[in-house]
Structure 1
Amino acid sequence: MRFVLASASPARLSVLRSAGIDPLVRVSGVDEDAVAAALTDPTPAELVTALAESKAEAVIPAIADEVPDAVIVGCDSMLSTQEEHGPEVVGKPATAEVAAQRWKRMAGGTGELLTGHAVVRLRDGAIEARARDHLSTTVRFAEPTDAELDTYIATGEPLAVAGGFTLDGLGGWFVEGVDGDPSSVIGISLPLTRKLLGRVHVSVVSLWGTQATS
């Protein structure tokens, strides 16, 4: 059996490799805006979980022939912060201007990092079982100086990650702590993934030491 990661995230790949699994990586190419638009007034948890499920499902056609006995894992993360008008859920900033605005609001406060997870179990190329869930972890942000923030944003790192920060990269200097699962903040929760694998009758220890072939 092979573990397939339906994500291009180097952070998720690193977490899995450090935890004993070298997955096959297949990028889903899912149109996240289209998935979100198809949902009717979703909660933040429903949105990230639906996106994770869409990513896992999208790679099934290719994987079913390539690796007929596999577990496919999709993930998606967003940051929920409390604003004057109520909770606001944000993904990747994409631009330096947006990243700077978000950090100005987040500095010295907290946010809820929501990570959706979905697992699809294939046997002989056919879908045998599915499981999905989400996890919320509280992130406590530091207050970087203007110079620190400008330099951090100039690296480009916060532009392509959920919420505009990382825990395992340069952004880790500006995170005071987390209340919950740190691996979820990085992008894939090891405890939740283990539970979801269990729901599709796969023991995570059976996947330790498996190697990607491409």
Structure 2
Amino acid sequence: MRIVLASQSPARLATLRAAGIEPEVVVSGVDESLVVSDDASVLATQLARLKARAVAHRLKDDDALVIGCDSVLAFDGAILGKPGDADVARERWRAMRGRSGVLHTGHSARMGQHEVAESAATTVHFADVTDAEIDAYVASGEPLAVAGAFTIDGLGGAFVERIEGDHHNVVGLSLPLLRRMLARLDVAWTDLWTAGR
């Protein structure tokens, strides 16, 4: 089976590979700014669906399994995507330190005209980091291109005190949720372990 990840996220790719799945990567090119919602779960799911559909349309391969994902952080009544620049990332971290937010990751799995889409939510408790730690983290560049301006599987992992929910969801792809979604498409998770090998 051809498995395609509609995401340029190295963390999502690494998560699938660690789970025994070797997808090819095709970046969707979807303009994320065109989708607007006041609901973080809805926004993440809509973006994941658009990414999977865009890649599936380009592939024109009804037998391919296309997986799209997108993450946003709900914090203090706002929905935070990628900060984009250092000043925004620094400001976010000063607001988030010592507090918590909810990371929502939308997932879409598509085969031909069949599609399932859902989101997963994980509460993230941030450490009470110092200004110097924030400055050093922002200077690393890592938080600039990730939802909520943090990672749990990189340099930012030391700044996450604990989570409530699926660890993989915070990385950007919930393996338990994806397994359940694929079952609805009649795809057995364990059959993917040898796909592409």
TM tier relative to shorter chain: over 0.9
| Residue number among 42, 63, 70 corresponding to 1:76 in the alignment | 70
Contact 1:7/1:74 (<8 A) preserved: yes
Contact 1:2/1:207 (<8 A) preserved: no
CA distance in 2, matches of 1:56, 1:155: 31
Aligned to 1:99, the other structure's residue is in SS state helix
CA distance in 1, matches of 2:32, 2:93: 23
Contact 2:94/2:134 (<8 A) preserved: no
Name the aligned partner's letter for residue 89 of structure 1. Answer: I
| Residue number among 41, 46, 50 corresponding to 2:42 in the alignment | 46
| Residue number among 73, 86, 111 corresponding to 1:121 in the alignment | 111
Paired position in structure 2 for 1:170: 155
Tell me how far 1:153 sits from its aligned partner. 0.4
CA distance in 2, matches of 1:138, 1:160: 20
Aligned to 1:153, the other structure's residue is in SS state helix
| Residue number among 51, 60, 63 corresponding to 1:64 in the alignment | 60
CA distance in 2, matches of 1:210, 1:203: 11
The total of aligned residue pairs comes to: 197
Paired position in structure 2 for 1:26: 26
Paired position in structure 1 for 2:129: 144
Contact 1:49/1:115 (<8 A) preserved: yes
Any stretches of 5+ residues in structure 1 without a counterpart?
A: none
Paired position in structure 2 for 1:4: 4
CA distance in 1, matches of 2:196, 2:10: 17
Identity of aligned residues (%): 51
Paired position in structure 1 for 2:16: 16
CA distance in 2, matches of 1:154, 1:140: 22
| Residue number among 72, 83, 91 corresponding to 1:101 in the alignment | 91
The alignment's TM-score, normalised by the length of structure 2, stands at 0.96
Paired position in structure 2 for 1:205: 190
Name the aligned partner's letter for residue 194 of structure 1. Answer: R
1:42-78 deviation digits (Å, cap 9, x = unpaired): 522111100000000001123224xx42210100000
Name the aligned partner's letter for residue 172 of structure 1. Answer: G
Aligned to 1:89, the other structure's residue is in SS state strand
The alignment's TM-score, normalised by the length of structure 1, stands at 0.89
Paired position in structure 2 for 1:159: 144
Give the greater-gyration-radius structure (CA).
1
Tell me how far 1:35 sits from its aligned partner. 2.8
Runs of 4+ in 1 over 3 A off after TM superposition: none
Aligned to 1:154, the other structure's residue is in SS state helix
Paired position in structure 2 for 1:184: 169
After superposition, the CA RMSD in angstroms is 1.2
